Structure 1
Amino acid sequence: MPIEIKMPALSPTMEEGKLAKWLVKEGDTVSSGDIMAEIETDKATMEFEAVDEGTIGKITVPEGTEGVKVGTVIAILAGEDEDASSIEASPKAEEAPAKPAAQDTPKAEAKAEAPASAPAPAPAAEPKAKVAQQEGRVVASPLARRIASTKGVDLEGLTGTGPNGRIVKADVEAAQPGTAKAKAAAPAATADGAVSAAKPETVEMAAETRALLDDRIPHTVDKLSGMRKTIARRLTQSMQEAPHIYLTVDVRLDKLMAMRAELNAALEKQGVKVSVNDMLIKALGLALVDVPECNVTFAGSELIRYSRADVSVAVSIPNGLITPIVQDANGKSFSAIAKATKDLGKRAKEGKLKPEEYQGGTASISNMGMMSIKQFTAVINPPQSTILAIGAGDKRPWVMPDGQLGVATIMTATGSFDHRAVDGADGARLMAAFREYVENPLGMVA
């Protein structure tokens, strides 16, 4: 019996997504665990794995289609004893939304418009050793594409070693750089040798975009990704619905920096390196447990109180921002936090995070100190009620404990609190507890 492959819910909040790319075609054989497609959710572009095995009988939603509702049939899998070429789309699949993006190929559009009663004959499966191309597309993982772009490697010239001939990271890293094809043709030269000016590309845009555009200024128009749309919606919601209150403290880092040096010397043989941010995550986790009034979520008619601090860490990724979670930050050691943040940060940039690794959390921390930002305020990450903005540590004049004026390494930290859930006095207690842990870091290992 044919198996319907449906649009998955790749995050708890996902209601629809964009079927960014098919990595298989009709007639291909797939097994459980094979990567079938890349799906753009409200958070990131994620890979969709096959659960069952069989032959792709029909693809009912072409790649590039936006607004595909969760549960929509996107393909049909033929079983072991079934003829894949005889499979027809179910009525439910025919009702699936089909809004291919402007960049869809004519071939994909023709397939979307073809009647379900006339399925195309299934092509023979290609040998795995062949170059990973399907219908003129190079099949490669998102990480492989990013590395290829950085190294200047032409994916069309590579042979994939992944499932179904897919190009993976190792294939690109083994390739010679500088082989990428030009993305655009060079300007045509006139008879007298002058280069003609390139005509501006026609851009399809929404009416509200065109109303804001000043055509006198050279410009480009980029379509927003699902992630950027979600960031815009959630941060607008946060600023409109959550009355923010901001509390700022200056924190002396000298003792924490000295402890970090000792820790890293002791952990060197284990290959673990603790960052200042790792220690600040621990300090915030402990402060949230000490001041549970800030470790809460405002739920309208109820207030959710958490007894554990799961700290979301803001990580910048291409075209957006994601907040992977360090669970039980108050209970983890510095080395455990360092391992967790390194792993989460790496997989966040590769688009490999699982939904449960970035959905949730009880409070957030955003550190822009490495960018030499001295002080800033952060927008609360809903449904949380607390976010800590960390600035750069620098040398400043400082009154020492003995009353003498000296020089110390000082960092400015600003907490943003949802005033519906957190009173100013409680926010001040959290900032004081955080400063105490940072300035006396032995208290974090006692």
Structure 2
Amino acid sequence: EQAETEKSAPAKAEEKETAPPQEKKDVEAGVSLAPESREKKRVEPGRPARPPLQESEARVKASPVARRIAAELGVNLASVNGTGPEGRVTETDVRAAAKPKPEKAGVSPAPKQPTRLPLQGEGARINLSGMRKGIAERLVQSKAPVPHFYLNIDIDASPLMEARAELKSAGEDADTSKITVNDFVLKAAVMAAVRVPKVNASFDNDAIVQYADVDLGIAVAIEDGLLTPVIRAAQNKSLREISELAKDLANRARNKRMKPEEFQGGSFTVSNLGGMGIDSFSAIINPPQGFILAVGKINKMPVIDNCDQVVVGHRMSIWMSCDHRVIDGALGAVYLKELRHLLENPALLLV
């Protein structure tokens, strides 16, 4: 009050005379001033002083009790709809405005970041190795942006078993005796890609890159994760050469004696978990490759032969995971048809 009654500098005298008194302005605005507002308010010890009113709040019609409750609850009076006479804000209005509003139907609150809680019975927390981090990053790069779709066939593996037994009968000292069923699958996968060259490709932004060579990736499980050594220009390799290279690469991968360029690139990959007792599975594409084959184990099962008789047969399941940007369903089916023909006629793979 003392500041208001003091005379201002001459430059401001005119302005002060023309400006209406603050009290009158408040009365014209319909603000009822409580007697204590004109006096210096005592602040009780331990109780925070009431913050000054904003201009928008000062113009609101409200009872003194409503103003006090609003200050205590942190409610902006300008945002409260008054239900009292002439729209005056009452204590009830302030308390109603302070209550949390129910969520609107169909609108979900913003998700909170989950706090990591210790797992039940957690014994150890193992930090990722560099290889595991690399595998995680590449698989996320593949599964998230690459549109996967899956095709499956069952192979009559009886001819493969017979061919394998015949090669093994040549004696353990013979090179051909070391050829495995998986080697037949690798050779067949390469030959089928040569016969259906459109699958030997990858997606590259605004184009599909079709490869001149079939660079065959072989999934090899190692202690720290997974490596995919590559047999370069596999279309020029015989069954025996593919068998020898696959064993050499797998052995060096498990013993960590590989050069980086030996497991980089590749047209497509073959992953075989049949030796670990897996009947069938689907695999994630190794980008930027166009597909991956997942090979299960050979199972004995009752089958119906050409004479409609139930006999004991051998069946092997093969899944093909395709990048739909490169390979359509029909193209994938043509490739698998060729792969089946080669595996069910293994003599074609010995040429």
Q: Which category of TM-score, normalised to the shorter sequence, fits these structures?
A: 0.5 to 0.7
User: 1 CA distance for matches of 2:273 and 2:307?
Assistant: 32
User: 1 CA distance for matches of 2:155 and 2:296?
Assistant: 10
- 2:350: which partner in 1? 445
Residues 95-114 of structure 1: CA deviation (Å, up to 9, x unaligned): xxxxxxxxxxxxxxxxxxxx
SS at the partner of 1:348?
helix
- 1:319: which partner in 2? 224
Q: CA deviation at 1:210?
A: 9.8
Higher-Rg member (1/2): 2
User: 1 CA distance for matches of 2:172 and 2:238?
Assistant: 16
The answer on whether the counterparts of 2:155 and 2:316 sit within 8 Å (CA) in structure 1 is yes
Q: CA deviation at 1:264?
A: 3.0
User: 2 CA distance for matches of 1:216 and 1:396?
Assistant: 42
Q: CA deviation at 1:235?
A: 0.6
- Residues 265 and 219 of structure 1, relative CA distance in 2, 3 Å threshold: same
- Residues 434 and 216 of structure 1, relative CA distance in 2, 3 Å threshold: closer
The answer on whether the counterparts of 1:249 and 1:412 sit within 8 Å (CA) in structure 2 is yes
User: TM-score when scaled to structure 2?
Assistant: 0.65
Does residue 358 (structure 1) correspond to residue 280 (structure 2)? The answer is no
- 1:240: which partner in 2? 144
Q: CA deviation at 1:217?
A: 2.7
Q: CA deviation at 1:346?
A: 0.8
Q: CA deviation at 1:358?
A: 0.6
2:243 alignment partner, one of 328, 333, 338? 338
Opposite residue 334 of structure 2, the aligned amino acid is: R
- 1:415: which partner in 2? 320
RMSD (CA atoms): 1.8
1:231 alignment partner, one of 132, 135, 145? 135
The answer on whether the counterparts of 2:239 and 2:349 sit within 8 Å (CA) in structure 1 is no
Opposite residue 321 of structure 1, the aligned amino acid is: L
User: 2 CA distance for matches of 1:366 and 1:240?
Assistant: 20
User: TM-score when scaled to structure 1?
Assistant: 0.51
- 2:77: which partner in 1? none
Q: CA deviation at 1:397?
A: 1.7
Matches for 1:103-142 after TM superposition, within 5 Å: none
Opposite residue 308 of structure 1, the aligned amino acid is: D
Opposite residue 229 of structure 1, the aligned amino acid is: K
- 1:278: which partner in 2? 183
Matches for 1:9-408 after TM superposition, within 5 Å: 211-214=115-118, 217-266=121-170, 268-270=172-174, 273-408=178-313
- Residues 216 and 415 of structure 1, relative CA distance in 2, 3 Å threshold: closer
- 2:104: which partner in 1? none
Structure with the bigger percentage of helix: 2
User: 2 CA distance for matches of 1:215 and 1:402?
Assistant: 58
User: 2 CA distance for matches of 1:338 and 1:290?
Assistant: 21
User: 1 CA distance for matches of 2:335 and 2:171?
Assistant: 30
User: 1 CA distance for matches of 2:348 and 2:334?
Assistant: 17
Give structure 2 stretches of 5+ with no counterpart: 1-112
- Residues 332 and 267 of structure 1, relative CA distance in 2, 3 Å threshold: farther
User: 2 CA distance for matches of 1:441 and 1:243?
Assistant: 33
The answer on whether the counterparts of 1:289 and 1:307 sit within 8 Å (CA) in structure 2 is no
User: 2 CA distance for matches of 1:215 and 1:266?
Assistant: 56
User: 2 CA distance for matches of 1:248 and 1:215?
Assistant: 38
The answer on whether the counterparts of 1:286 and 1:309 sit within 8 Å (CA) in structure 2 is no
- 1:145: which partner in 2? none
Opposite residue 312 of structure 1, the aligned amino acid is: G
SS at the partner of 1:266?
coil
- Residues 218 and 287 of structure 1, relative CA distance in 2, 3 Å threshold: same
Q: CA deviation at 1:216?
A: 5.1
Residues 256-289 of structure 1: CA deviation (Å, up to 9, x unaligned): 1111222233363245501111110000001111
User: 2 CA distance for matches of 1:216 and 1:400?
Assistant: 53
SS at the partner of 1:330?
helix
Equivalent residue pairs, number = 238
Opposite residue 252 of structure 1, the aligned amino acid is: D
